[in-house]
Chain A
Amino acid sequence: MKEKAVVKDIDRSMYDFRYSEDDAYKVDEGLTPDIVKQISKEKNDPEWMRDFRLKSLDIYNQIPVPDWGPSIEGLDMDHIVTYVRPHDNKMENDWENVPTDIKDTFEKLGIPQAERKSLAGVGAQYDSELVYHNVKDSVAEKGVVYTDIESALHGEYADMIKEHFMKLVPPTDHKFAALHGAVWSGGSFVYVPKGVHLDFPLQSYFRLNAKGAGQFEHTLIIVDDDAYLHFIEGCSAPKYNVANLHAGCVELFIGKNATLRYSTIENWSKNMYNLNTKRARVEEGGKIEWISGSFGSHVSYLYPMSVLSGKGSRSEFTSVTFAGKGQNLDTGCKVVHAAPDTSSYVNTRSISKDGGISTFRSAVTIAENATGSKSSVSCQSLMLDDISRSDTIPAMDIRTSDADVGHEAKIGRISDDVVFYLMSRGMSEEDARALIVSGFADNVGKELPLEYAVEMNNLIQLEMKGAIG
């Protein structure tokens, strides 16, 4: 009897180490006005931010949970700790000064090594607070600002933060945007001045160590006219037997003729509810490039949104989602064409195995004034066994005749014809099938810097046992 080709479960053991959190500062479990006020006090918020948090909490209490996606019944907000500050917390810009256990964590994850080799700057968040932030002198000299958002909130960029904070993703957007507005903590602020082109990426890494906690970091990036930035976001957590929650928020403002590439390798543990919101607004001639690999979490709702508000602005979205045992990953994207001659390109791959559920969900809206706009959406799904599930739910809303919209989707298993072709070229059947599966996710791999592409390929390990039956 022939055996099936097997794609191994993602090996998360390298992320599963953990440290005691006994001496960390925590607020009580649950979500009340007093807890929100306590967080606001701990963070020394300006008054407008304190009011903003409380207003967001009101909105959170009014909005129902989504009735269209994966179940989040296992997430009990009454048992989530929304703020955990590591012991001896002080934001450092020298690794040597970071507390030993936290430093060990990031050493194991390879963050300092990556900084030395290939990054222009690094931010590292541990639970609810940034513990390290540094940017190379040569980058700072160009006027690039890369700092934690709390520092920016009190420094010379305070007005800029107030002008942009949760303006693109208002708390009214959905229930977990409102939650974020109430209890956000940590995250990064980046400003790239006009005409500055960063040759090396900036990276933020988010580590959630505490059991039963939530992480609510806020990332705000402003890329001014004619500038270029590649920003990389990584995240992980050790696995616990209780629910953890990630409800971050990313707001990206891209100026005229500027480009931002935003890459994410998401590898949360399988007890994580990942209810993240990401949105970019692109001005005339600007471009947003989303590169996204979703491998972790128990349940994900993740749909980066591009608002093409300037004439000729563009969006590219490239992603791969791998749903294994116990995972229900609902991912995709949204694009709003709100100006003439805008274009969007979506290219996604989903792999489901071992009972995993992956759903590709998208929305392309072309507004009345977005004449001459074009959009192309391509999504492919691969089913690796008959106990898994894969759905595609793409929506298109076109409100002008002067537009070209194309969509294609494909779902199925490994094609016997392709295997036959490769075998006719001299490959063994095992090698042919391994090549097909690894090539399937290559749309994302080839867009990442080499080190991250290698990490992604290591996550998707193939083990071919004989031929497929």
Chain B
Amino acid sequence: MSELKLNVLPSPTWNWLRMNDTSYQAKNLTGGAAPKVCIPDKVRAGEETFPKEFDGGIGREFTDFLDKEEKARVFDIDYDMADPIRLRYQTGKDQAVSDRVMINVAEGKKGLVVMNFTSDGSDGQLAVQTAVNIAKDAELTLFSVMRTGDGSVLMNDIGTQIGDGGRFNLVQIVLGGKDIFLGVKNHLSGTASEIDMKLGYYMTGDDNLDVNYIASHTGQKTKCNIYANGILRDRSQKTFRGTIDFIKGCKGAKGDELEDVLLMDKTVRNKTIPVILCAEEDVEGNHGATIGKLASDILFYLESRGMDQSEVYEMMARARIDAIADQIGDEETRKLAKDYFQTGE
């Protein structure tokens, strides 16, 4: 086992809150993951050394932990994609595996990637690190649905470099998991580069979700939009760290961050820490959060239409996930997320 500090907050606060990072006993890696990969013909796929300068959301210790696996699968995208690259990961019993991925989108092109994660329901551990490089005026859209069951551990780390006029769209949906660590760090270094990140989650039982989203604005007129919407049930726990970092020189930058959390049972635990760091005058940063039970006026209205309280909560929970799932432009993946509420799989 290796003790790792995961999802490190860029600007620490009181230690007693236990939000500055999460200490985790990770199983030592037993080998590389073997995802099912589906690649459109025009994408150039290969293998390269993972960049040493990678800077992701989960943090340095996690990167060092994966450094035994130096090679990464590489996808070079040099056309406007209609069909996505698909990577399907499944963890199995006693596995502790890892994978590294590099996605490069050429100037002015649009890439589309789908990464889905499942497990066989056992106690496997999967660690994946993805380095994204978006060139000038290029765009990458990444959809991800995580349904790893209540026995598996997933560490899913992304780091992006975005050039002038580049754009990164990310939609992540988490549907349970024993311990899920998501980290995304975006380097908005190009002028007028943008990111749009949406997270939906539905955690039940003893699930635990731990998130660290970071938007680092160094380029002028850069924009970020971070939106998280989720549901906690039973005894589930969630920590959401969201940081907008306006670094000196990022004139004209704008950052918005919003989180809505619906708490459905008295035994859940929600931690939220939305941070804005600002060393530049000519910027605009906003963040907001609403956490709690369903608004009484909504509940009253729907009950007056003949629904009982539990039906109302089920419907509102599904509506929240659907709202995020509808942002997924890939029908197969969207269906994966939506079907979860009907089949539980």
The interface-forming segment of A224-232, A313-321, A394-402 is A394-402
Q: Is the beta-carbon distance between B282 and A413 smaller than 8 angstroms?
A: yes
Within 8 A of A (CB), among B269-298: 269-293
Asked whether any CB of chain A lies closer than 8 Å to the CB of B25, the reply is: no
* Bound CA span A405–B263, Å: 11
Q: Is the beta-carbon distance between B280 and A386 smaller than 8 angstroms?
A: yes
The interface-forming segment of B10-18, B42-50, B170-178, B181-189 is B10-18
* Bound CA span A410–B257, Å: 11
Q: Is the beta-carbon distance between B266 and A368 smaller than 8 angstroms?
A: yes
Q: Is the beta-carbon distance between A401 and B278 smaller than 8 angstroms?
A: no
Q: Is the beta-carbon distance between A403 and B280 smaller than 8 angstroms?
A: no
Q: Which among A67, A361, A407 is the interface contact of B289 at CB below 8 angstroms? A: A407
Q: Is the beta-carbon distance between A389 and B279 smaller than 8 angstroms?
A: yes
* Bound CA span A392–B284, Å: 13
* B103: chain A residues within 8 A (beta carbon): none
Within 8 A of B (CB), among A372-394: 381, 383-386, 388-394
Q: Is the beta-carbon distance between A411 and B276 smaller than 8 angstroms?
A: yes
Asked whether any CB of chain A lies closer than 8 Å to the CB of B93, the reply is: no
Closest Cβ–Cβ distance, residue A372 to chain B (whole Å) = 10
* B270: chain A residues within 8 A (beta carbon): 396-399
Q: Is the beta-carbon distance between B273 and A394 smaller than 8 angstroms?
A: yes
Asked whether any CB of chain B lies closer than 8 Å to the CB of A271, the reply is: no
A401 and B282 in contact, given A361-B13, A391-B276, A395-B13 (Cβ under 8 angstroms): no
Q: Is the beta-carbon distance between A398 and B286 smaller than 8 angstroms?
A: no
A402 and B266 in contact, given A68-B13, A393-B13, A407-B274 (Cβ under 8 angstroms): yes
* Bound CA span A111–B107, Å: 69
A408 and B15 in contact, given A388-B281, A401-B292 (Cβ under 8 angstroms): no
* Bound CA span A392–B276, Å: 5
Q: Is the beta-carbon distance between B290 and A406 smaller than 8 angstroms?
A: yes
Q: Is the beta-carbon distance between B12 and A402 smaller than 8 angstroms?
A: no
Closest Cβ–Cβ distance, residue A422 to chain B (whole Å) = 19
Q: Is the beta-carbon distance between B248 and A386 smaller than 8 angstroms?
A: yes
* B271: chain A residues within 8 A (beta carbon): 395-398
Q: Is the beta-carbon distance between B275 and A363 smaller than 8 angstroms?
A: no
Asked whether any CB of chain A lies closer than 8 Å to the CB of B132, the reply is: no
Closest Cβ–Cβ distance, residue A155 to chain B (whole Å) = 37
* Bound CA span A384–B278, Å: 12
Q: Is the beta-carbon distance between A405 and B293 smaller than 8 angstroms?
A: no
Q: Which among B20, B232, B272, B293 is the interface contact of A396 at CB below 8 angstroms? A: B272
Which residue of chain B is the closest to A408 with respect to CB atoms? B288
Q: Is the beta-carbon distance between B292 and A68 smaller than 8 angstroms?
A: no
* B293: chain A residues within 8 A (beta carbon): 401-404
A68 and B20 in contact, given A393-B11, A413-B282 (Cβ under 8 angstroms): yes
Asked whether any CB of chain B lies closer than 8 Å to the CB of A160, the reply is: no
Q: Is the beta-carbon distance between A400 and B13 smaller than 8 angstroms?
A: no
* B263: chain A residues within 8 A (beta carbon): 398, 400-401, 403
Q: Is the beta-carbon distance between A406 and B289 smaller than 8 angstroms?
A: yes
A400 and B266 in contact, given A391-B11, A408-B287, A409-B288 (Cβ under 8 angstroms): yes
Residue numbers of A with Cβ under 8 A of B are 67-68, 361, 363, 368, 371, 381, 383-386, 388-413
Query: What are 28 inter-chain pairs, A to B, with CB distance below 8 A?
Result: A67-B15, A68-B12, A68-B14, A368-B267, A383-B278, A384-B281, A389-B279, A394-B273, A394-B274, A395-B19, A395-B273, A396-B272, A397-B269, A398-B291, A399-B269, A400-B268, A401-B266, A401-B292, A402-B293, A403-B292, A405-B290, A406-B288, A406-B289, A406-B290, A406-B291, A408-B288, A410-B285, A413-B281
